[in-house]
Every structure is written in structure tokens, then in C-alpha cells.
Amino acid sequence: MNLGIIILIGFLSVLVARPSLYRTFVNSAPEMAQPKKAFILDLTLCLIAGVFINGYDKIVLDIPWLSLASLMIGCIIAGFFIGLDSSLAQERKVILKAKNQNSRSSLPKRLFPITRKFTFVAVATSFLISLVLILVFHRDIEWLARTAQDEQSIYAAQLSVTYEVFFIMAILMVLIVNLIFSYSRNLKLLFDNETKVLERVKDGDLSTKVPVATFDEFGIIAEHTNHMIDGLRHRFKLISSLKMAEEVQQNLLPNRSPYLDNFDISGTSIYCDETGGDYYDYFLLPGDKLGIVVADACGHGVGAAMLMTSVRAFLISAIWDYQSPAQILKNINNHITRDCSKSGRFTTMFFLEIDARTRNLKWVRAGHEPAVVFHAQSQTISHLDGTGLVLGVDDTYGFKDSIMSACQTGDIILIGTDGINETRNKNQEIFGHKRLEKIIRDHAQDSAKVIQETIVEEVDAFRGDLAQEDDITLIVIKTS
């Protein structure tokens, strides 16, 4: 009874000082370090209580050293389990605070993995339990040796030892089960924080991030999840910007075919990305003439689209002072070369002038694919060739007009980009010029719109399940 009162007074003494020490030592520390600080504080307080109790027992009661050692081991065990429970409770507070305030902490450089925590707790618990059992058995054996005089006393001693061992094991089991439940609550909170955010991400909600509240594997997973959310936010912004750029670029293309006496015209552009570097347009020119342009900036995607937007702006600006295809390409080339000479980017262009009254053609091919011409009367194929350097390389280059006179009724002119002929199938075969010319021959009696749509369908069928690698643009002109 006296010993129990002394132990109670010792622990109550440190318990009185605990709140102020907790505020100073634990609450003032960084949040992710508070669980560790709580464990150290409670373990230290129990050790201090043990030292005070043992000091009093030795000085006043003159208790033997072996008994004092047993008492100190008991204080260490109590401090260990109390410290673990306090640490888990503090960790739970940190997790809940981070969840409720949606706050994020940075991971420290040194992590403390869960496996290391389990190993530490398991080894320490096994050691302490073994130590307790050794002390109990050592004391009980000595006690049995002194008290076991007859059969009845031996039986009573056996019952006493059995009850004592079961009592100690029950106390230790309660402490261990309490730790398991306490840690399970923490794990549930961490899992809930992670899964709820991931469910929102699955539904497209990127407004919430996972609070980083521990410096173990859960902290690493939360940090990586947050980086993923940042990446998805950036990707969604980029996709939104690309969609807007796609809409803007599509609005730059003609929304309908032009009307020109004795000519049926149809054109289209199909980009392999949200935006592309292909461009086509129609321009009404003086003297019942129509200008048709097809251009292809090197590459595809956003960079090519930006370059093509500049080319279009220069083209529209220069068309007001139109004199000839060679003159307008010279004007455009001066501006593009100034902007692209250092980057090495360039643009190919085919500019065709059609005279509705004479049916004469005048064109310039600035490094672009030659236009294909199907002659209805002779059923032959020719090309609108001509020399010409790509735009954006040499601003001193002089372009020259090429001329073909008097198109005949039924003649078909096709101006396209290399995305048609260079389309590949799964066998790495290219679509090529022969397939394109065969389509024109087979559908020579159809309208320009039908011919254009048939070419696109045949190219798609030839490519199969493979992704489109380059932009496709074509204009079909049929003389009527």
C-alpha cells in the first residue's frame, strides 16, 4: 500500500507539470515533428517519475537495488506505451488539422518509413515483455523456493504465479491492443484523405489536394498525388488553351467555297493535333480573278500554328497591293525571313491565280508540292511545277510566275500538302502519288466536293488504326 501511494504521488507530480511542458516542447514544434516530441516528452516524464520514486524508496525505505531496478523497468514500460499512445494521438490531431484547414506541409529531407516504425515498436515491445517475464519468473522462483514446504503450499504458490503471469499478460495485451486501435484510426484518416481527393480527381475536380501530415510513405504518396494534381491542372489549362487555339485557327479557314464562273472548288484542312501548320484560303482579285493559296509550315502543333498565323497575317496585308503571285510571295517572304531566319523555321506555299474569263492559270510554287492537273480530253496527268525557294530562308530570293493557258472543261486541279502522299499504313507503305492520281481518274465525273471527300476517306482507310502523323490539306478545282 505504501509503495503504491509513493508511485501514485510520483506520477501525479510529473502529470501536473505535463501541460505546460507539452505546450513548450510539443505544440511549439513543427506540426509533423509533434508526434515524435510527444513520445519523447511522455517517456522522459515517466523516467523522471521513476528516478524520483526510486530515490525516495532507497533513501527512506531502503528497498533493495534489484527491486528498484524492477520498478525502474516498470516505469520505462509505462513510459514507452504512454509515449506511443500520446504520439499517435498527437499525430491524429495533426492529420485532422491538416484535413480541416486543407493545409500542406513540405516533406522533410529525412523520412521515417512505416516499416521502420513497425520494426522499432515490435522489437522494443518484444524486448520489454521478455524483460518483464524474466523478472517475474526470477522473483517467483525465489518465492517458490522459500514458501513451497508441502503439497498444499506448492499448489497455492502455483496458482499465485499463474494469476500473476496472466494479470501481467492481460495488462500488456490491453496496452498493445490500444496501440493497434489507435494506429488504425490514424491509418483510416490517412487513407480517407487520399481516397477522397483521388475520387474528386476521378470526377474532374482538381480543387483539393492531399494534406501532407506525416513524414512516412503516406506523406510521400500525398506529395506525389499533389504533384500529379498540379500536372493535371497545367494539362487541363493547356488543353483548354489548345481548344481555344483550335477554334481560333479553324475560324481563320474559309467556311465555304468561293463562287467563280465555270469553276467548282472545294477545300479542307485536317489537323493531326488540336492545331496545325497547314493553311488554305481564297482571295478575290481584280479582273474576275481568284487567288487560291495552300501553305504548310514546318512541323505541326502549336509552334507551326503560330507561324502559320503570322504567314496568314502577312498574306492578308500584302493582298491589298496584289500584282502577281511572284510579287505577293516576294512581299511575304521578306517579312517571314525577318522573323524566322534565326529559328530556322520555314513555310512552303503554293499560290494559284485563276482568270475566270480566259481560264488561264498563273502560279508560284515556293518549295510546295506541285499541283496535280487532270486533263479531261486526253485523260492524262500533269503537274504545275516551277522553281521556288521555301519562305523564311532568303529575303533576297526572286520568285517567278509560271503560266498555263486555257483550262478545258472537265479539267481537275488538286493542290495539297505532303500529309496526303506521305501517309503511312501499318506496313510502312506510303499513300503516294499513284493512288492519288487513280482516285482523280476514277472520280473525274464527280463534283469537286465529292473528289475532295473521297481522297480524305481513302487516305483514312489506307492509314487504318494508325494515328495521323501530319496535317492534311487539299483543294480540288474542277472546270465546268
- Range 265-285 burial, b when 16+ CB lie within 10 A, else e: bbbbbbbbbbbbbbbbbbbeb
What is 257-479's CATH number? 3.60.40.10
- How confident is the model over 179-205, as a mean pLDDT? 87
C-alpha cell at 392: 523564311
Residue 11 has a pLDDT of 78
Sequence spans of domains, the chain: 2-232, 257-479
Cβ contacts of residue 417 below 8 Å, gap of 6+? Answer: 278, 294, 296, 368, 369, 470, 471, 472, 473, 474
* Rounded distance between C-alpha atoms, residue 305 and residue 284, angstroms: 24
Residue 327 has a pLDDT of 93
DSSP state of 108: P
* Rounded distance between C-alpha atoms, residue 351 and residue 440, angstroms: 21
- 10 Å CB burial of residue 411 (0-12, 13-18, 19+) is buried
Instruction: Output 336 or 157, whichever has higher pLDDT.
Output: 336
Residue 54 has a pLDDT of 78
Residue 244 has a pLDDT of 66
* Rounded distance between C-alpha atoms, residue 215 and residue 91, angstroms: 11
* Tens digits of residue pLDDT in 386-418: 888 899 888 889 999 999 988 899 999 999 998
- Are 99 and 193 spatial neighbours (Cβ–Cβ below 8 Å)? yes
Please state, in angstroms and as integers, the Cα–Cα distance from residue 352 to each residue in 53, 291, 370, 414, following that order. Answer: 104, 6, 11, 11
pTM beyond 0.85: the answer is no
Residue 107 has a pLDDT of 63
Residue 292 has a pLDDT of 95
Question: If you average pLDDT over every residue of the chain, what do you get?
Answer: 84
Does the structure show a pLDDT above 80 at 142?
no
Residue 105 has a pLDDT of 59
Does the structure show a pLDDT above 80 at 194?
yes
Secondary structure (DSSP) of 272-326 = SSSS-SEEEEEEEETTTEEEEEEEEESS-SHHHHHHHHHHHHHHHHHHTT---HH
